[in-house]
Amino acid sequence: MDPRAAIAYIQKVQQRCNPEAYKQFLDILSRYHRTPETITEGEVSSQIARLFEDAPDLLAEFRVFIEQSQSVRNSQSSVGQRKEEAED
């Protein structure tokens, strides 16, 4: 998901959700991105599924969002590993 699409999705969540649900959404994402060792992708998905149980379109878009985020994270991890191996 390109940055503009990610921003548009987050704005859509903000417009559609009540302030407390939006805050929970941001808290879940923040925890996942800042300290991924404390929460698994599965936990994130199940928490978001509960949060968006009445908004299947937001949940479907979230699944695309998280899959692409995970792909970027895996790519960055691979680059970091190759760099470390090259330095050894």
Mean pLDDT of the chain: 84
Domains of the chain listed by start with CATH number? 3-87 (1.20.1160.11)
Span 8-24, average pLDDT:
96
Q: Whole-model pTM? A: 0.74
Confidence (pLDDT) at 8:
93
What is d(CA 79, CA 46) in angstroms, rounded to the nearest whole number?
29
Give the tens place of pLDDT for each residue, 22-53: 999 999 999 988 998 999 889 999 999 999 99
What is d(CA 30, CA 20) in angstroms, rounded to the nearest whole number?
15
